[in-house]
A and B are shown apart, each in its own frame.
Chain A
């Protein structure tokens, strides 16, 4: 066999080689495990304070990875706190014995942010009681480890609902407030963190502090979208509203840019209560639009409907059929789209979740579909967030990367209404140059039937994130395995300022290590 000689330097970057991780030192994708020298003393101390640390393999294994399924690490032990006082004892002891503490709610991170590489895992899901529903103030006060779905179950018995939350049943309130939380009504209502009226926070040194926009506002601004760096949220008071079923409409596009322009048009004009884009590859692009009331729907139909360039299902079907007739070699892609369409969309209109043509319990409907059609043992969901002007280009460039790496994937685009320029938006998914409404896009490959190496997936994520670094955008998932991008995107000045604040708040740097700093 003759092996051709290739000149050094002429080989393009390999997807799975170290040089594909442009600018990202490899070791940052896989934190080293804490050695645990002070562990036994720490456990004994906590025991003396009445806090039980579970160390059995069967207990620890439950938390071996997160929803991403790419980062694996075991804690030395677990605490399930019952109160802020328990959390305080843990953090005070952790400072004293320099034991890393990883907090976890639903564990829905994808970059290992809620995976403990040794140390203690604080399983906040045990703090899941609703403390008070105030129908006059239209707020709910709840322990922050509660999952949004549990909260919805309780609110619904009073005919209430939360404002916005991730389309995921097992996301926790505390975890969501720590990163933002995006819903399909975020173009109108903002991110979930912006629904928080007041918080109870345990600082990294174990102080229990109440905060709101008027009481300890600096802490409030640090903790919301703070990626768990400046405290553990133990209670949250959130805005609520009357529950209402929704009416949903779909518009179909074959051009990403056109769909994005229409999404931005709807968001800007406040033409719908919910809107977002969901694609099957980049061929079948669906703009979802939904309404809380008949009046809003009527207004949309009379004022805005004709301005949208999307097609109805039949019209779009004919165009798709024509396209694939002209491109018969893409028949597998056509079959995939048809198959996906036939299985996915009926899920949005299951009869038990419909009443008089309206979707009841939209979060359940969407979340079930999310897990059924996008879930799996491994998930990578790199994302880009941008101001309105750069968004279409960012999505198109990200789409090209998806095309390069994967046969089948989904893009999910949504807007996020901003409440001015709040300090909480610094070092978050909200880009510094966004005003009024920011936009985000998730790029999710369908990994189900194929085994990809971790390096291949990391290379894919890096290439998406390189677009962000190049265009001056931001990301939702910049922690954990992607933290190598933090300085590139936010700049040294901002990162150093936050690092100094972190060092002051958390002298032993024990709270959620390897997430940001």
Chain B
């Protein structure tokens, strides 16, 4: 992404239709136009500087919902990251939820991994070794799948915060995973970047990778609501919207999709939510997802969502690897 040469539309292309705000979790929470992508684009068209709209830029959860909704096909996620980058250039103090510099991540100790599938677990999943080993088992076991020692979580965090990306660091990360056929990405923002960095690889989210196993999809039914991890889904929307639509049709389960087939996010994986799920609005977003639903189980792709849904619902919440 940092090296992208392709011309992409920016805020100046926004026609102000407002379709993006219908899917924006911040709009739903605040009802404030200026907190949304449309608000920021319009303000910048009107001459506002990133500093003037800093609170809106910082509030964005980078859920990616606005991207596929945009009829102008503006590269919104990239634009959001770019605005954070520009804002960072002009400020001396970062928000408290920004990532701290992590020097502990280094290249893989044994050289590049050689498996058909490599799991990039990210911070939340790798903190739960039991869930991680279940995922590896479901991906075909140790012979077929491996857990990446370097899962690029620092890159994803820097990207989300609009902090400068180190080309050398990205190269070493990619070198570690470049032998796999399929990369299974639990951290959605990385999904988006890897599609550009490794265009010939199959990049899958945890849900798609695990649901390919028939036994898992058979265990879903109309009494379940299945919570799609929004960042990965929106990164590859044109393909995944069909995939999940088929899954929904075949299993009869409900999903956190709105009428535009955009995945309603909880924002649980955002940097802000890692700091505090309540102030990040995750509970409000989860309540909206569950409003009026009659289900007996909540199945989540993103392990971070388990805590969120447990906080707002009495219905059992299971991670997809625990189906």
User: Residues on A close to B: CB < 8 A?
Assistant: 54, 56-65, 67, 69, 74, 80, 106-107, 123, 125-128, 147, 149-150, 152-154, 156-158, 169-170, 351-353, 355, 361, 363-364, 367-368, 371-372, 375-377
Residues in A with CB closer than 8 Å to B111 are none
Whether the Cβ atoms of B46 and A169 lie closer than 8 Å is no
User: Is B214 interfacial (CB 8 A cutoff)?
Assistant: no
User: Is B274 interfacial (CB 8 A cutoff)?
Assistant: no
Q: Given A56-B52, A57-B48, A150-B22 in contact, is the A62-B42 Cβ separation under 8 Å?
A: yes
Report how far A361 CA is from B257 CA in the complex, Å.
Answer: 13
Total A-B contacts with CB atoms under 8 angstroms apart: 107
User: Is B241 interfacial (CB 8 A cutoff)?
Assistant: yes
Report how far A222 CA is from B168 CA in the complex, Å.
Answer: 68
Q: Given A107-B16, A147-B22, A170-B18 in contact, is the A158-B48 Cβ separation under 8 Å?
A: no
User: Is B8 interfacial (CB 8 A cutoff)?
Assistant: no
**Cross-chain contact of B46 among A64, A150, A153, A170 (Cβ < 8 A):** A64
Residues in B with CB closer than 8 Å to A372 are 71
Most chain A C-beta atoms within 10 Å of own C-beta, residue among B22, B46, B48, B293: B46
Please list 24 pairs of residues, one from A and one from B, whose beta carbons are closer than 8 Å in the complex, sorted by A's number.
A57-B47, A61-B45, A62-B42, A63-B33, A63-B42, A65-B16, A67-B15, A67-B16, A69-B15, A80-B31, A80-B32, A107-B18, A147-B22, A150-B22, A154-B292, A156-B259, A157-B291, A170-B22, A351-B245, A352-B241, A352-B242, A371-B19, A375-B15, A377-B13
Whether the Cβ atoms of B258 and A58 lie closer than 8 Å is no
**Cross-chain contact of B261 among A57, A353, A371 (Cβ < 8 A):** A353
Report how far A74 CA is from B21 CA in the complex, Å.
Answer: 21
User: Is B124 interfacial (CB 8 A cutoff)?
Assistant: no
Residues in B with CB closer than 8 Å to A123 are 33
User: Residues on B close to A: CB < 8 A?
Assistant: 13, 15-19, 21-22, 31-34, 38-39, 42-43, 45-48, 52-53, 56, 71-72, 241-242, 245, 249, 258-261, 291-293
Report how far A125 CA is from B241 CA in the complex, Å.
Answer: 29
Shortest beta-carbon contacts, A-B, top 8: A61-B46, A157-B292, A371-B71, A170-B18, A58-B48, A372-B71, A126-B31, A58-B43
Report how far A364 CA is from B249 CA in the complex, Å.
Answer: 19
A103 smallest CB distance to B (angstroms)? 14
Report how far A143 CA is from B32 CA in the complex, Å.
Answer: 16
Q: Which residue of A lies closest to B248 (CB)?
A: A352
Whether the Cβ atoms of B292 and A158 lie closer than 8 Å is yes
Report how far A351 CA is from B258 CA in the complex, Å.
Answer: 16
Please give 12 more A-B residue pairs, beta carbons under 8 A apart, in addition to A58-B56, A371-B71, A372-B71: A54-B34, A58-B46, A58-B48, A61-B47, A62-B46, A67-B15, A128-B31, A157-B292, A157-B293, A169-B260, A364-B259, A375-B71
**Cross-chain contact of B43 among A61, A80, A126, A152 (Cβ < 8 A):** A61
Residues in A with CB closer than 8 Å to B71 are 368, 371-372, 375
Residues in A with CB closer than 8 Å to B48 are 57-58, 61
**Cross-chain contact of A62 among B39, B258, B259, B292 (Cβ < 8 A):** B39
